[in-house]
Amino acid sequence: MDESLLIANDDYLKSGIHIGTKFRTKYMENFIYKTRPDGLSVLNVQKIDERIKMAANMLSCYEPKDILIVCRRETGWKAVKLFAEITGCKFFAGRYPPGVLTNPSLKNFIEAKIILVADAWPDKNAVEDALKIGIPVIALCDTNNQANNIDLVMPCNNKGKKSLGLVFYLLAKTYAEKRKLLSAEEFKYKLEEFSED
């Protein structure tokens, strides 16, 4: 195992976390390692790992109650729910109703100090609300994502179950350790639990 990585390089590759789309935006060019003969862009695993560490560090500056995770994409729901269960963060798995962060008169109003979205495009209502109240946004971004209004871009395949499972597994483990919620020994969750087969 490469000691500097959060998880073995093979585990990253097996999850497909590095497989992008055929479309690439200028925002994501820095994270792209190469383009395959079939036209799919391949993300740089070292940069993915680096950004997961940065996101975990950023999140660990906040109490669980101040963090909101938003994931409209069904392939990430299991991972997001388990992440929230482990860390105690708030989450939206499904459609995010606009105004949840900005309108205190809504019955589902949520106060947050930072948000993480699984995909900046389907989760754009949450990103827009975060902008209105001036809180940082961390976003999982594939090669086809725009990154405007994002404070921290986490490059990854943000569509696949295994890829999303791996991202949230690593974030949950690192966050739990940094916030001293669970030690590395106490963290009994397995990677497979974060992604359904």
What's the whole-model pTM score? 0.94
- Chain mean pLDDT for the chain: 94
For residue range 25-71, what is the model confidence (pLDDT) as tens digits? 999 999 999 999 999 999 999 999 999 999 999 999 999 999 999 99
pLDDT given for residue 147 in this prediction: 83
For residue range 104-144, what is the model confidence (pLDDT) as tens digits? 999 999 999 999 999 999 999 999 999 999 999 999 999 99
For residues 5-28, average pLDDT: 94
DSSP-assigned beta bridge partners for residue 93: 71
pLDDT given for residue 1 in this prediction: 45
pLDDT given for residue 107 in this prediction: 92
Share of the chain above pLDDT 90, in %: 90
pLDDT given for residue 148 in this prediction: 84
Is 120 exposed, middle or buried (CB count within 10 Å of its CB: 0-12, 13-18, 19+)? buried
CB 139 within 8 A of CB 71: no
What is the DSSP annotation of 7-39?
Answer: S-HHHHHHHTTTB--S---GGGGGGEEEE-TTS
Q: How confident is the model at residue 183 (pLDDT cuts 50, 70, 90)?
A: confident
Cα separation, 149 vs 87, whole angstroms: 26
Cα separation, 43 vs 140, whole angstroms: 13
Domain 9-179 falls under CATH 3.20.20.150: no
Tell me which DSSP letter residue 144 carries. Answer: T
* Angle, alpha carbons 5-30-192 (nearest 5°): 40
**Which candidate, 143, 104, 103, 150, places its Cα nearest to that of 124?**
150
pLDDT given for residue 197 in this prediction: 60
- Domain ranges in the chain are 9-179
